[in-house]
Amino acid sequence: MKPVSLALLLVLFTLSRKLDLTTAVYVYDVDGEPLLNGGSYYVVFDEPGGGPVTLAKVENETRPISVVLGSFFEDNMKRAVKFRVDDGLISFYVSTNVALDIEFTSSPVNSSTWSVGQKDLFVRIDNEEEGALPGIFKIKKHGSGHVYRIVFCPHGEACFPLGAEKVYPGMYQLIVTDGEPLPFIFEKVGFATSAI
């Protein structure tokens, strides 16, 4: 038997990975286009009167670092996010059930990446005071159409959906919960959408 070369193994691995990607379940925006890895999107709560995910100051915060649901009527509050696939391979599209970094495209602080508070489980972009809970975000299908839920998976544990907790009248902060998940849709930045 001849030894198999490293180059041949690499080619076989690459081909098998491409075959896996053809059966992947992509995440789609409201216009039916697959989400681009690193593309800019608005994350919008998919309920009547639901608004976009944005940043706000909550309680004693000195800067807007809490990830909240904005009002449907506050389009100027929209903040785009980028989903970055964290699988160690080159992925052109975002798929369900893969590890993601979620980050705002602009931020009032050095960090723009979503994290979960270790003590209170709220989603923020800066958890220095609270400490960040180690884990990953994923997108999972929710119901029919192009509706999804975002989940957080503490390392080595089950995944839990993002819910919302009322912090002020009309303002809800995203939180990791074992309760009802929030349904979200994704709007590509800079394009008119047909569903909204």
Delimit the domains of the chain by residue range: 26-188
Least confident stretch, 40-44, 110-114, 189-193: 189-193
- Here the tokens at position 120 are 């209170």
Among all chains, which residue has been given the structure tokens 């997108």? 139
pLDDT of residue 59: 85
Distance separating alpha carbons of residues 196 and 192, to the nearest angstrom: 9
pTM value > 0.95: no
* Residue 179 reports pLDDT greater than 80: yes
* Contact of 135 with 116, CB cutoff 8 Å: yes
Distances (CA, A) of 37 to 81, 101, 104, 115, 173: 11, 10, 14, 19, 26
pLDDT tens digits for 30-42?
999 999 999 999 9
Give me the CATH code for the 26-188 domain, please. 2.80.10.50
| Per-residue pLDDT tens digits for 6-20 | 443 333 344 333 434
